[in-house]
Chain A
Amino acid sequence: MTAEDIMETDFVCVHPGMSLREAANLMTEHNRLFLPVMDEECGKGGVLLEDDLLRAVMPKYLDSLTNLNFLPDAYELVDADGSVEQLAVKDIIQDRQLYTVQHDAGPAEIAHVMLKKSIAGVGVEKDDKIIGYVTRGTLVRHIYAHTLSQEKKQQS
């Protein structure tokens, strides 16, 4: 089993110019915690996290406070300056690289990258192009399904 066997090829991704609202819709629609950011040619890209979308609506000057429970109207702070509608993915994307594995990488190699980098998915690379995407969920499903079926075979 290699990355190419288990990867999703019609995976959801966002483009740098996409508005934050569109990105947030995609994320919730597909129930994802993150989305890969890729340019039109599917070259190497970045990652947009739910954290980034939340950070974009929260005032930065409050970062150092322990909590905001003492505020009677903390809800007013969400997008207080009304700038979110004008923002695109490229405006808020952190300098976070999209980690990739080669198309022939095995499950152990993919799991190692995910655990080492604390990431929820990796791009699958072939000839310098991203050809697919493996999420943690997909990997867990495949590893366990594979391991379990092996065990069953052995039992029978």
Chain B
Amino acid sequence: MNLPAVVAIAIFLVTYILLATEKVHKTKAVLAGAVLMILLRIVSQRTALHGDEAAGIEGVDWNTIMLLIGMMIVVNVTRSTGGFEWLAIKAAKLVHGHPTHIIILLCSITAVLSAILDNVTTVIIIAPVTILIFKRLESDPIPCLISIICASNIGGTATLIGDPPNIIIGSAARLSFLDFLSVDGPVALASMIALVVAIVLFLHARVAVPMAARERIMEFDEGAAITDWALLKRCIVVLVIVLVGYVAHGSLGLEPATIALGGAALILLLHTEGPDEALRHVEWSTIFFFIGLFIMVAGLVKTGVLDMMGNGLTSLTAGNTTAMTMVLLWASGLICGVINNIAYTTMMTPLIKSIAVAAHPDAAAAAWSELYHAPDILPLWWALSMGACLGGNSTIVGSAANVVLANIAEAGGHPITFGRYLKYGVPIAFVTLLISTFWLWLLFLR
């Protein structure tokens, strides 16, 4: 191994240790690591920022970055209308305050919103409303809050835009929104059914409340939650256009980021306020976290570290696709319960590319991108997607949405301890990964 490779690995390990121990803010740690990669001439700035197609280096994936920024703008403007609060309260009233039905409906809303928007925004709104509803029911909100975490990670698995790992994978492997919906979608649907069955079986008796308490839910006035009906209507129109755009982007030959930025431009045009407020609420810290990670990974690719790992993994599993898919699915599931799934996926996508090239040594460099859809490589992308998204359910720190919800719950006087969450999270993660195993086998490995 040459010196640059050793230095690149050292930078990477130190940064990941900082990420895992949370000694330094994740964005600060990753940006410092990224700049070190360039300063120490492990990768040039040009390659880091713009990639090097001939060498198979992606650099910063601007498709992912712009998709995230575009969707954040769309979501932030929509969120400001109070529409999400309306939806959650309407659901609780629709089932006349029946707690089990409330949990199921809130989980379903969370799953759908997480699939088409993003997990963190969804739980940021649904969680406080849930606490308010359960306070009124005089019942413990924690079972519902934990179910909502699981639903948000499951829902996010379903689409290209649902969860950051999917955005990264979709962009790297050139997989479309419909590809995700047809492969990850059924897994998410089956997982949601499993979650609902678990709620009915295990939570039903625990959350029972007297009829009088249920009546109190009907006193909520969901209409008053809406701050701007005119803007909400425009937001819904934009969201529908954006969704149609995503469904059609593959056949239109458009990158997903174009759809997201189109949605952002449209919603800003239809908004009477200037763009500053919507842009201020873009999570710039997350955006720079992504940029830093992409640069660090470019360093690893440039020095050949990921090629070495890819070769190692290929020889370890003797090129057996089934074995490799299963190892990737379960290892990703396990690892993403502990480390940040964005950091993990950013590193794993070039690794799968290396595996693709190693498995097809005769392919010309120009045809590499076609290799990513080869029958022995395609299931690996899906295994990574399912593992990274669903594995996040296993612990309370498994994904950003989990952590955000835990903080809201604690502020609401209902702390979700690591241990208490584990009792729900691990079985849900296990069952959903089993569903993924079966589905991957059925689709690709039979």
Q: Contact residues of A with B, CB < 8 Å?
A: 59-67, 69-72, 81
Q: How far is A61 from B224 in the complex, measured between Cα atoms in Å?
A: 20
Given A66-B82, A70-B85, verify A61-B408 contact (CB < 8 Å).
Answer: yes
A70 and B221 within 8 A (CB): yes
Asked if B125 and A70 sit within 8 Å, CB to CB, the answer is no
Question: Judging by beta carbons under 8 Å apart, are A67 and B82 in contact?
Answer: yes
Closest to B228 in A: A66
A66, A67, A69, A72 — most chain B CB neighbours (10 Å): A66
27 contacts between A and B (CB under 8 A): A61-B127, A61-B409, A61-B412, A62-B128, A62-B132, A63-B411, A64-B124, A64-B125, A64-B128, A64-B408, A65-B125, A65-B128, A66-B79, A66-B80, A66-B82, A67-B82, A67-B225, A67-B227, A69-B224, A69-B225, A70-B85, A70-B89, A70-B220, A70-B222, A72-B219, A72-B221, A81-B413
Q: Which residues of B contact A61 (CB under 8 A)?
A: 127-128, 131, 408-409, 411-412
**Is B412 a contact of A66 with CB atoms below 8 Å?**
no
The minimal Cβ–Cβ distance linking B59 to chain A, given in whole angstroms, is 35
Known: A61-B128, A62-B128, A65-B128. A70 touches B224 (CB 8 A): yes
In this complex, the member of B81, B132, B221, B409 whose beta carbon has the largest number of chain A beta carbons within 10 angstroms is B132
Enumerate B154-193 residues with CB–CB distance to A below 8 Å: none
Q: Using Cβ atoms and an 8 Å threshold, which residues of chain B touch A65?
A: 85, 125, 128-129
- Determine the distance from Cα of A72 to Cα of B136 in the docked complex, in whole angstroms: 11
Chain A facing B: main interface SS: loop
- Nearest CB in chain B to that of A64: its residue: B124
Q: Which residues of B contact A (CB under 8 A)?
A: 79-82, 85-86, 89, 124-125, 127-129, 131-132, 219-225, 227, 408-409, 411-413
CB–CB A66/B225 < 8 A: yes
Neighbouring B residues of A63 by C-beta, 8 Å: 411
Q: Which residue of A lies closest to B86 (CB)?
A: A70
- A contact residues around B408 at 8 Å (CB): 61, 64
Q: What CA separation (Å) do A71 and B220 show in the bound complex?
A: 6
Which B residues lie within 8 Å of A69 (CB)?
A: 221, 224-225
Given A59-B412, A66-B80, A67-B82, 4 additional A-B pairs, CB 8 A: A61-B408, A64-B124, A66-B225, A70-B225
Enumerate chain A residues within 8 angstroms of B85, measured Cβ to Cβ.
65-67, 70
Chain B residues contacting A70 (CB-CB under 8 Å) are: 85-86, 89, 220-225
Contacts of B219 in A (CB 8 A): 72
| Residues on the A chain within 8 Å of B81, using CB | 66
| Bound CA span A66–B128, Å | 11
Q: Which residue of A lies closest to B127 (CB)?
A: A61
Q: Are B132 and A71 in contact (CB-based, < 8 A)?
A: yes
Distance between Cα atoms of A61 and B225 in the complex (Å): 17
For A67, what are the chain B residues with a Cβ–Cβ distance below 8 Å? 82, 85, 224-225, 227
Q: Identify the 3 closest CB pairs spanning chains A and B, nearest first.
A: A61-B412, A69-B224, A60-B411
Residue numbers in A under 8 Å from B225 (CB-CB): 66-67, 69-70
Q: Distance (Å) between the CB of A63 and the closest chain B CB?
A: 8
- State in angstroms the CA–CA spacing of A84 and B311 once bound together: 62
CB-contact partner of B220 in A62, A64, A66, A72, under 8 A: A72
Contact residues in B for A66 (Cβ distance below 8 Å): 79-82, 85, 225, 227
